[in-house]
């Protein structure tokens, strides 16, 4: 449990000082779109100086920062063919 908590905090630190386009800044509500699941998985499964965490950091550079609600809006817009106000 302690190991997982430390890894989760390290993952949350990737959002430190950043905010979504809508203004959301709570780290537990932010996501790295579209690679969040892989990034989160790599941070939770692997230690600091591993290839997988380095890959996650590279993915972060290629990702857009969005909150959970904006991510849902993006996915809805993709599926329905609607326009979205978000710029990705």
DSSP string, the chain: -HHHHHHHHHHHGGGTT---TTS---GGGEEEETTHHHHHHHHHHS-TTSHHHHHHHHHHHHSEEEEHHHHHHHHHHHHHT---S---
Q: Write down the pTM of the prediction.
A: 0.87
Structure confidence at residue 45 (pLDDT): 94
Structure confidence at residue 83 (pLDDT): 74
Output 82 or 88, whichever has higher pLDDT: 82
Structure confidence at residue 41 (pLDDT): 96
With a cut of 60, say whether residue 1 has pLDDT above it. no
């Amino acid at each position: 449990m302690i190991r997982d908590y430390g890894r989760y905090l390290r993952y949350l630190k990737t959002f430190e000082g950043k905010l979504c386009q809508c203004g959301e800044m709570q780290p537990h509500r932010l996501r790295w779109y579209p690679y969040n699941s892989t990034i989160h998985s790599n941070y939770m499964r692997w230690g600091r100086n591993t290839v997988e965490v380095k890959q996650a950091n590279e993915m972060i550079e290629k990702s857009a920062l969005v909150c959970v609600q904006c991510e849902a809006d993006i996915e809805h817009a993709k599926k329905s063919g609607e326009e979205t106000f978000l710029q990705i």
